[in-house]
């Protein structure tokens, strides 16, 4: 508590002496470590009532209303499960970044996390949680319902091309083309595997400071859950279609990763 107060005071003093850090806009793709990133900036800048941070979700604002848009434009840090369209409307003059994740690992994490979660007020996440409890990993990945495909079917690519919600069947080449164009326009794209090592650099760029005690938020549960091994997943054409665009986007951003 005392450290959080000090970090927020430190951030405020920078503004008072004319060294205000640049605004920050974070495109938070589900199950890509975004809650940990959000907690870092919340600890440094302020809580939701302060007006200094703004968080919203495309599920609740498929079109940004004027009130949410204005609040987000005033905030020093804006974040949420939204896509490129919302990012461009709220990130003028901001440092813009996102975190990506190896696509198979992201699906495994989404499935395990969803099986362990009991409730969500968000209707999309609630449907995903319930489906994961009732279905095998393969059936979960191949879900046909639009509300489930929202988070499952090439979600990273769709978020960066336009938005992950509402789900609409993507035209692969078009969506991938724009996702690549847009991710290249960001100031930073981080691989989740490198997040711990990148956080100090991110803190320096954004005028924030790492807390002494950091915790990973919404971490994938360690409880054993049966999932299809990577080799078998990759040999199944139907399953691979679910992450094919995400795989190409991931290789585009991180070409040296296998």
pTM more than 0.85: yes
CA–CA distance, 151 with 27 (Å, rounded to integer): 15
pLDDT at 240: 98
Q: Which residues of the chain have pLDDT under 50?
A: none
The per-residue pLDDT for 206 is 96
Identify any residues that bridge with 96 across adjacent strands, giving them in sequence order.
25
- Return the SS3 of 26: strand
pLDDT at residue 14 in the model: 86
**Sign of the dihedral through C-alpha 23, 212, 6, 13:** negative
Place of tokens 């990945």: 141
Is 97 strand, coil or helix? strand
Q: Is the separation of the CB atoms in 131 and 117 below 8 Å?
A: no
pLDDT value at residue 110: 97
Separation of alpha carbons 228 and 187, rounded Å: 35
Q: Supply 83's token pair.
A: 């896509």
- On the 0-12 / 13-18 / 19+ scale of CB atoms within 10 A, 75 is buried
pLDDT tens digits, one per residue of 116-175: 987 888 888 999 999 999 999 999 999 999 999 999 999 999 999 999 888 987 677 789
Q: Which two tokens stand for residue 178?
A: 């724009």
pLDDT for res 258 = 64
């Amino acid at each position: 508590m005392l450290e959080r107060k000090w970090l927020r005071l430190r951030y405020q003093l920078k503004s008072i002496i004319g060294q205000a850090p640049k605004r920050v806009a974070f495109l938070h793709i589900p199950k890509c470590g975004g809650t940990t990133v959000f907690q870092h900036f919340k600890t440094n800048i302020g809580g939701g009532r302060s007006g200094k941070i703004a968080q919203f979700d495309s599920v609740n604002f498929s079109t940004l209303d004027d009130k949410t848009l204005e609040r987000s434009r005033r905030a020093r840090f804006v974040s949420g499960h939204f896509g490129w369209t919302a990012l461009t409307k709220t990130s003028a003059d901001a440092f813009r970044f996102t975190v990506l994740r190896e696509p198979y690992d992201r699906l495994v994490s989404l499935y395990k996390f969803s099986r362990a979660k009991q409730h969500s007020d968000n209707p999309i996440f609630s449907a995903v949680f319930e489906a994961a409890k009732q279905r095998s990993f393969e059936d979960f990945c191949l879900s046909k319902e639009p509300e489930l495909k929202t988070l499952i079917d090439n979600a990273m690519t769709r978020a960066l091309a336009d938005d992950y919600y509402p789900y609409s069947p993507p035209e692969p080449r078009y969506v991938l083309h724009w996702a690549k164009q847009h991710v290249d326009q960001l100031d930073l794209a981080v691989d989740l595997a490198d997040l711990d090592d990148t956080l100090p650099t991110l803190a320096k760029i954004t005028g924030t400071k790492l807390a002494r005690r950091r915790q990973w938020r919404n971490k994938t549960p360690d409880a054993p859950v049966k999932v299809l091994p990577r080799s078998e997943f990759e040999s199944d054409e139907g399953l691979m279609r679910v992450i094919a665009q995400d795989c190409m986007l991931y290789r585009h951003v991180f070409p040296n990763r296998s």
